[in-house]
Chain A
Amino acid sequence: MLMKGAEALVKSLEKENVEVIFGIPGGATIPFYDVLYDSGIRHILVRHEQVAAHAADGYARVSGKVGVCCATSGPGATNLTTGITNAYMDSIPIVALTGQVPTIMIGKDAFQEADTIGITMPITKHNFQLRSVEEIPKIVKKAFFIAKTGRPGPVLIDIPKDVQEKEGDITFPDEIVIPGYKPTIRGNINQIKRAVKLILNSERPIILAGGGVILSNACEELIKLAEMLLIPVVTTLMGKGCFPETHPLSLGCIGMHGRKAANYAINDADLIIAIGCRFSDRSTGAVSLFAPEAKIIHIDIDPAEIGKNVKADLPIVGDAKHVLKDMLTLLEKSKKKENTEWNKKVDEYKREFAPFMDYDEIPMQPPRVIKEIMKVLKEDDIVTTEVGQCQMWASHFLTRTKPRTFISSGGLGTMGFGFPAALGAKVAVPEKNVIDIAGDGSFLMVCQDLATAVEENIPVVVAIFDNRFLGMVRQWQELFFDKRYSSTFLGEIPDFVELAKAFGARGIRVTKPDEVAPAVKEAFESEKVTVIDIVIAKEAKVLPMVPPGRGLKEMIG
């Protein structure tokens, strides 16, 4: 069929069931946008490309589908890169489309030319530059396939302007062949048998569940496994929500700002069943001191994760859902476990170190704010976070019970992620409430996109934990640098209520604990974009904390 490149591109995206694209047009993407104008695909015009990438990321995390973002050549593409890296670090499937200068201009330092392929090589799972109209359908299909299969990740397609404009004879393939790409889905059954034996013979087992459990939709299997053998469960930040945190076996997140009970329990374990996690330094603390007595069963779809940060005694390469299913089948014959000494010890940790949230002070203490927000939050509602103290207060104190309801920038730690991710989330599930637990520093990095939220009618709530500081850095300066607050005070501007209003959003300020829940409730019910400026104690710290370079058992506070 004879058609233009831009048409082939839009048709290919429609064939991948793309519903929405977040982006900003520019000189090198005008032909594409011209065709998009008549397409059924919704385009959400953002105000900065970083927001486009994060929104696609948030959309993907909540929906489980591939998120799509688009930017023009040069600065458009370079603005996307933070968002692409964020998706890469957290293994989120997105496809980024970038315009490029015409093929004959490439390499001439043309206007708005950047080496997008070179720049994005180390931050994408793969990238493509289109060189002909005819290859468009095949490459789009490959891009989506690579993004969503195996260990998911971002894929970028760079599209020179002339390729969008030229006509070609287009056929849409039903199948594609990628000789060097064959992810291992089923785990080796002998390894799984050995793992089962190890688990049954262990005295102090613990499950460490990461983001991979959510990505492979293995949460039900995880719950079954834990309940069958009464194994306590801790998660990483990325795994938060994959196991109900209200469950008696749940201990919450491990890590630098994890729950004490979780850190202590994993430290004491004699067997760690690690599923879909990569033992990041923020999760393990000093790796030399991590779980000294534990053998580790490491289940991951990416063989390169095994043995990268910690030594695995028993590796299983495969998709978490498949591996857990096989494990459950093998375990069916073994009888249900009774409560052990280990379970009792873990329960004691839980009782002893239950988080305290009932602060009454004004200005408010963040744990109390979280407690008040939780009064309004339903279990299906979506929480996104910015990065820094707000993120750690949320991950530590907020209870989540379902997967894909806690959306946070884990690996890259990108300030300015939460608000765009909330936009993407709300677009994915408009019927659910979406709230961004924000810090004032993070939110200011992307606040211009209040314009997008209002114009496109994406009613999210931004709850700013407002301490006028780059709080996490300030906390480290307080604890480890003699309170020398070098460049961390942000000043008393802006007035976030007025800022919100300037964009046509609702703005509310709350200063007392009993004002928080009604403000959030009202914000959800208003179905309008709302910024809640929550004034918190300026020098509130995230505690407890594992100081840098220490083991998980050396928590302070």
Chain B
Amino acid sequence: MNERYILSVLVEDKPGVMQRVSGLFRRRNFNIDSITVGHSEKKGISRITLTVAGDRKVLEQVMKQLNKLIEVIKVSQLNMEESVVRELALVKVRTKNEAIRSELISYANIFRARIVDVSRDSMIIEITGDEDKIDAFIDLVKTYGIIELARTGVTAMIRGAKREVKK
């Protein structure tokens, strides 16, 4: 059965490491839904968060193949229920008139989003949350006309004091 899985991958912070990871997905015929990367808590080590679509067999292969990359230090699967899963989106919306502007402000409040830029006829809204929340918000405001949309892709962390366990 096709499902989505979140993988957290610790890698050595070296040139080309993202290409190794993304190249592996293409070569092995795996699908990445999203990929994000940034520094981790340790110097010289980055954390890549991947969302992968496939069945358990695909997931197992993805994890094993990732582990084979020399610069990959650890691969863990994050259980959706036990993890905080977040994405950030910047949405630039057309605001033709005052009424639309105030409607958008109230939607932003309901979604706990922030208005980060306002011009005469547009507005940039910053929203964080899980993908469903962001999808819902985008769906809501798209009737006003989205000028530009930038989404970061998923980043995630396991809840509580424990660290990821290697699977």
Contact = CB atoms under 8 A, between A and B. Distances in A.
A117 B19 CA distance: 10
B61 A180 contact: no
A306 B24 CA distance: 18
A122 B12 CA distance: 18
Given A118-B19, A121-B20, A122-B23, A304 B70 contact: no
Given A121-B19, A179-B12, A180-B72, A304 B67 contact: yes
Contacts of A295: none
Given A125-B70, A126-B70, A180 B12 contact: yes
Contacts of B60: 307
Contacts of B24: 122
A302 B61 contact: no
A178 interface: yes
A117 B61 contact: no
Interface in A298-328: 302-304, 306-308
Interface string A110-121: 000000011001
Given A179-B73, A307-B57, A307-B61, A121 B68 contact: no
A463 interface: no
Contacts of B64: 303-304, 306
**Most chain-A Cβ atoms within 10 A of its Cβ — which of B27, B57, B67, B68?**
B68
A68 interface: no
Given A303-B64, A304-B64, A117 B70 contact: no
Interface string B16-51: 100110011001000000000000000000000000
B71 interface: yes
Nearest to A125: B70
A125 B69 CA distance: 8
A302 B19 CA distance: 22
Contacts of A117: 16
A304 B62 CA distance: 9
B65 interface: yes
A117 B60 CA distance: 27
Contacts of B72: 180
Interface in B54-93: 57, 60-61, 64-65, 67-74
A181 interface: yes
Interface residues of B, number: 22
A483 to B, nearest CB: 35
B67 A303 contact: yes
B65 A304 contact: yes
**Most chain-B Cβ atoms within 10 A of its Cβ — which of A129, A179, A306?**
A179
Which applies to chain B's interface (DSSP): helix, strand, loop or mixed?
helix
A122 B27 contact: yes
A117 B16 CA distance: 9
Contacts of B70: 125-126, 146, 178, 180-181
A121 B12 contact: no
Interface in B88-111: none
Interface string A130-172: 0000000000000000100000000000000000000000000
A306 to B, nearest CB: 8
A118 B64 CA distance: 22
Interface residues of A, number: 18
Nearest to B44: A179
B20 to A, nearest CB: 6
A146 B27 CA distance: 21
Contacts of B19: 118, 121
A180 B73 contact: yes
B23 A121 contact: yes
A302 B68 contact: yes
B27 A180 contact: no
A412 to B, nearest CB: 15
Contact of B61 (A118, A146, A179, A304): A304
Contacts of A122: 23-24, 27
A307 B27 CA distance: 18
Contacts of A181: 70
Given A178-B70, A180-B73, A304-B67, A121 B61 contact: no
Contacts of A126: 70
Contacts of A179: 12, 73
A122 to B, nearest CB: 5
B71 A180 contact: yes
Interface string A39-67: 00000000000000000000000000000
A98 B74 CA distance: 30
B16 A121 contact: yes
Nearest to B68: A304
B45 to A, nearest CB: 8
A476 B70 CA distance: 41
A100 B162 CA distance: 46
Nearest to B64: A304
A129 B15 CA distance: 10
A143 to B, nearest CB: 10
Nearest to A142: B70
27 contacts: A118-B16, A118-B19, A121-B16, A121-B20, A121-B23, A122-B24, A122-B27, A125-B70, A126-B70, A129-B15, A146-B70, A179-B12, A179-B73, A180-B12, A180-B71, A180-B72, A181-B70, A302-B68, A304-B64, A304-B65, A304-B67, A304-B68, A306-B64, A307-B57, A307-B60, A307-B61, A308-B61
Given A181-B70, A304-B65, A304-B68, 17 more contacts: A118-B16, A118-B19, A121-B19, A121-B20, A126-B70, A178-B70, A179-B12, A179-B73, A180-B12, A180-B69, A180-B73, A180-B74, A302-B68, A303-B64, A304-B61, A307-B60, A307-B61
For the complex of A and B, list the 9 residue pairs with the smallest distance between their C-beta atoms, beginning with the closest. A304-B64, A180-B73, A126-B70, A122-B27, A180-B72, A181-B70, A303-B64, A179-B73, A304-B65
